[in-house]
Amino acid sequence: MVNLSFLFQTLCVLLLVACTSDDNGTSNGQSSGGATSPNEVQAGSRAFGGFPEPPFLPLDQGVWMAGDLHVHTNYSTDASNRPMAEVIATAKDNGLDFLGVTDHDNHVDGDLAGNTWSDPAYKSDDEMVVLFGAEWTTSKGHANTFSAKPYNHQALYAARDRLSSEVDQVVKSLELHFSANHPASGDPWGYEYDMVRSIEVWQSSVWFLNTNAQTIWDDQIRSGRRMTGRGGSDSHHGYIKSFLTRIDPNNFQPFVNAMGTPTTWVRARSRDAESLIEALNAGRVSISATPQSPRLVLTAASEPNGNFDLGMGDNLVLKEDRPVQLRIELENTEVQTKFYRMEVIRDGSVLTTLNVFPGQISVTFTDQPGANTKTYYRVTMQGLSTPLIDSPGSFVPSLPMVAISNPIYINYQD
């Protein structure tokens, strides 16, 4: 008998192969603006890869914003010929608040300023924050760059395939948020992780391609890094509404993968690009299968009084051996009608499994990590996600994952 599940998973992989098999060659280009000398880079926090520690944001402040941090347009030659204005309009229709447009830099010889960034539609407005960035595409792996302002991408492009220490100098001089893409699937990350501030731990809607990325993420955190985990659809588009008029290999992709599958949520200080970058750096981040799926919010009580005052990305300095209370909340859902299974991950292993029943929107647990012991907690939630209208089949390859939190840290200070 034909195994339909296997056939469907195989189809999903074939449809998304363009996301992780990008050409590592070059074409044409020019340079743009100036960069700070690497000698001017100041030493920062080891836990944050040598960058300064981001400022704290109290839990009662900030705003949650939904976005996609890995999206291509017609400036990537392996993507469908979909113009920037159409990409941004569709992202808004899908319920997103921000977008990381990350076209391949090698397709324009590093000249993002003269191509993607110069497109008239490449701009933020009251509905959408568009970050400056690109997919740094090399033979040793791919990384996305995120910035609140234009920067000299040509300098980073010139450093491709150099030593990690040389790339790290350029990244720090440009003050970029540098993020390793699909680290364990197609085009795996071959550089050191010390120079990245986040890892793409959920790439595309096809969940089973991301299990090894979770292990890499946990390994980095256990080494002492406060490393942000983020998502990205890596959408090369295709467009259902114009399926019959645009003949393109990517035309099938939006049925199972589109902007927002998955969705990266950030708790930003305000709705602007600078606040988004700050939140990514700090790890105030959660990931959901779609913009309409529940958002996991993990909090902790810094004192034994039940006052939950620390959030994802925050660090609790614990000098005494006592229990710590943590709470998991399901947000972005008006009526909770589903059953979910949560796994609490402590130091890379499952600490406990929790069931969430219809009508339930929060659950608490207690653990005793020990005095002066370096520990972290993060949560995954499995079940059935809420489909994205623009990608009606995306909930199938994302099974069983619905949402992932970022960690809360214990004793991760330098």
- pLDDT digit string, tens, across residues 65-79: 999 999 999 899 887
58: number of CA atoms within 13 Å, CB side?
3
Length of the chain: 414
Judged by average pLDDT, the poorest of 200-209, 245-254, 295-304 is 245-254
CA proximity to 2, closest of 398, 10, 394: 10
366: number of CA atoms within 13 Å, CB side?
8
The band of 398, judged by pLDDT with boundaries at 50, 70 and 90, is confident
Q: What per-residue confidence (pLDDT) applies to 28?
A: 31
Q: Does pLDDT of 236 surpass 90?
A: no
- pLDDT digit string, tens, across residues 41-53: 345 899 998 999 9
Q: Span 24-28, mean pLDDT?
A: 41
CA proximity to 235, closest of 7, 10, 19, 31: 19
Percent of the chain at pLDDT > 70 equals: 85
- pLDDT digit string, tens, across residues 89-121: 999 999 999 999 999 999 999 999 999 999 999
Q: What per-residue confidence (pLDDT) applies to 34?
A: 31
Tell how many helices (H) and how many strands (E) occur in the chain.
6, 19
Q: What per-residue confidence (pLDDT) applies to 38?
A: 31
Domains of the chain listed by start with CATH number? 55-410 (3.20.20.140)
Q: What per-residue confidence (pLDDT) applies to 212?
A: 95
β-partners of residue 203 are 232
Cα separations (Å) of 72 from 27, 54, 77, 335, 338? 17, 29, 9, 34, 33
Element (H, E) at 277: helix 273-282
Percent of the chain at pLDDT > 90 equals: 73
Q: What per-residue confidence (pLDDT) applies to 396?
A: 81
For the chain, the average pLDDT equals: 87
Q: Does pLDDT of 153 surpass 60?
A: yes
The band of 238, judged by pLDDT with boundaries at 50, 70 and 90, is low
